[in-house]
Structure 1
Amino acid sequence: MTQLTTSEIIDRFNHAFVHHDPTALDDLIADDCVMEAIQPAPDGARTEGREACLTFWRALAEDHSTQFEPEEVSVSGERATIRWRYRFGDGPADSVRGVNLMRVRDGRIAEALGYSKTGGEIPLAAE
């Protein structure tokens, strides 16, 4: 089987959230994956290991009351930057913009560091 490129992995990752398809994440996450969420301030929660990262991301992808919108994706080698908007309501103030700094190793996401433009709390499904 051919190993997926960083671009293909990130496209599938984004697809899981845009289309609320948590099963799309199953083959994308490395055993030693590290994820840093955007909350709680100031440093966000650190999650380590495939199952823990999958649990967090699956809950987020399953939440039909929110919408993830990738705005720009940039890939360079094993690194990717995803600039996004996360909507958690219908009002103009019910969204936040942010960025994920991703690293793909051996065809799997090994690192995902999330940062956002907010000082307040965001209602995330995984909380």
Structure 2
Amino acid sequence: MTSESFRDAESLQTEEILRRFDQVFLTHDPADLQQLVADDCVIENTQPAPDGSRHEGKEACIALWTRIATNADIHFENERYIARGDHGVIQWRLVWGPDPSSSVRGVNLMRVRAGQIVEAQGYVKGV
């Protein structure tokens, strides 16, 4: 996994939040979400096509991310973090089977405020 973050204090804090968030999905353990997600967080998810779904508020965002993180039939392979100021990007591959055709690449665009995630948009590569 590579990092292309700026080295100023805000970018470094954003990258740290991205890394902690990422660990939730790598370890299938959503416990850290309570600290990472802001009360006014908004997620625009990748499903259903074509525009995804919108989830507003801490409870709704944690519920969505918990369902994804605890799904034992999938795992993420993360490729890169990019943090610039309060904005961050996580590039990843979602894997649900043994071969490359059982995976898809995607990206999360995120915004962090005061050490918590306030906005997340997920996108996946289409056919």
Q: TM-score range by the shorter chain?
A: 0.7 to 0.9
Stretches of structure 1 that go unaligned for 5 or more consecutive residues are 120-127
Match for residue 63 of structure 2 among 48, 55, 58: 55
* Alpha-carbon distance in structure 2 between the residues aligned to 1:40 and 1:84: 19
- Residue identity over aligned pairs, in percent, reads 51
When the two structures are aligned, how many residues end up with a matched partner? 116
Q: Which runs of 4+ in 1 moved over 6 A?
A: none
Q: TM-score of the superposition, structure 1-length normalised?
A: 0.87
Shift of 1:94: 0.7
* Alpha-carbon distance in structure 2 between the residues aligned to 1:92 and 1:78: 33
Shift of 1:118: 2.3
Stretches of structure 2 that go unaligned for 5 or more consecutive residues are 1-11
For 2:93, the equivalent position in structure 1 comes to 85
Paired residue type of 2:58:
R
> Greater helix percent: which structure?
2
For 2:105, the equivalent position in structure 1 comes to 97
Could you give the per-residue CA deviations for residues 68-100 of structure 1, whole angstroms, max 9, x where no partner exists?
111011000100011110011112211110111
Shift of 1:58: 0.7
Q: TM-score of the superposition, structure 2-length normalised?
A: 0.87
* Alpha-carbon distance in structure 2 between the residues aligned to 1:47 and 1:117: 21
SS in 2 for 1:27: helix
1:1-127 mapped onto 2 (5 Å cutoff): 5-119=13-127
